[in-house]
């Protein structure tokens, strides 16, 4: 049994796996991470391994000594991945993006794959049917866009995420919702269309905390799975154990 830990920019996700079956999942704040991990290890006493992917503040040393005899695997640039990396600055490629690409290759063999992770940032990662990773794009996520409008203007309010009633907002609040939500969906659909025009035999994977919210608004056919990074982390761990 494996405990997979995704350390993100704003929160931490825990998932317990038995082989490829997701047994339990929780999302926790940074302030409670150690207590929550320890409680999970107590409740699921069969856990023998921890696999961690971190783009946040926690490192491997933070997880050592949580349980006697526990194996801690910290996925890094030195880990094995099932793809050829053609990124020109490979050491700056986020581990989360590498794990997502790994999962796409392992779950969907012999296809062109575009992985879109809609979290704090929206990342796009393209790996072709020959398992060659080409790169992608990074843009602000939903909450960053709302926050930036508030932080960098004098009078625009900070709003919670909401569906715009129309494309043409008839108030400042509706204009903000339209600009943020429609702007992101147009961006994602446009990015997908530009890739599809050049490639066939394709699968588009949408994941991240905002995946379900965005999936309903996108025109293109996608495979939406908010747990894809955790599943990919589990599979990357298994790949490194082989």
CB 206 within 8 A of CB 116: yes
- Do strands 49-54 and 112-118 pair parallel, antiparallel, or not at all (unpaired)? unpaired
Instruction: Write out the two tokens for 41.
Output: 């290890």
Provide the b/e sequence for 117-146 (b: ≥16 CB within 10 Å): bbbbbbbbbbbbbebebeebeeebbbbbbb
Catalytic residue among 6, 96, 117, 128: 96
Please enumerate in sequence order all residues whose Cβ is within 8 A of that of 222, keeping only pairs 6 or more positions apart, or say none. Answer: 116, 192, 204, 205, 206, 215
In angstroms, the CA 236 to CA 178 distance is: 38
CB 13 within 8 A of CB 27: yes
In angstroms, the CA 148 to CA 213 distance is: 20
Please enumerate in sequence order all residues whose Cβ is within 8 A of that of 208, keeping only pairs 6 or more positions apart, or say none. Answer: 116, 117, 118, 119, 122, 141, 226, 229
96 flagged as catalytic = yes
Q: Which residues are catalytic?
A: 96
């Amino acid at each position: 049994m494996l405990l997979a830990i995704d350390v993100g920019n704003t929160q931490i996700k825990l998932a317990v796996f038995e082989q490829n079956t997701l047994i339990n999942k929780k999302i926790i704040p940074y302030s409670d991470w150690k207590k929550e991990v320890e409680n999970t290890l107590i409740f699921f006493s069969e856990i023998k391994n921890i696999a961690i992917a971190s783009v946040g503040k926690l490192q491997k040393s933070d997880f050592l000594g949580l349980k006697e005899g526990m194996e801690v695997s910290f996925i890094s640039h030195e880990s094995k991945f099932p793809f050829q990396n053609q990124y020109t600055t490979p050491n700056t490629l986020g581990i989360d993006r590498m794990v997502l690409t790994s999962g796409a290759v392992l779950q969907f063999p012999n296809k062109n794959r575009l992985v879109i992770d809609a979290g704090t940032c929206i990342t796009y990662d393209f790996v072709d049917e020959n398992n060659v990773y080409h790169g992608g794009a990074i843009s602000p996520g939903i909450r960053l866009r709302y926050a930036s409008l508030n932080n960098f203007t004098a009078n625009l309010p900070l709003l919670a995420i909401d569906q715009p009633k129309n494309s043409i907002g008839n108030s400042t609040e509706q204009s903000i919702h339209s600009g943020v939500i429609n702007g992101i969906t147009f961006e994602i659909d446009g990015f997908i269309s530009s890739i599809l025009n050049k490639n066939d035999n394709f699968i588009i994977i949408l994941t991240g905390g905002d995946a379900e919210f965005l999936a309903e608004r996108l025109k293109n056919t996608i495979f939406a799975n908010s747990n894809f990074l955790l599943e990919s982390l589990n599979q990357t761990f298994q790949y490194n154990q082989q």
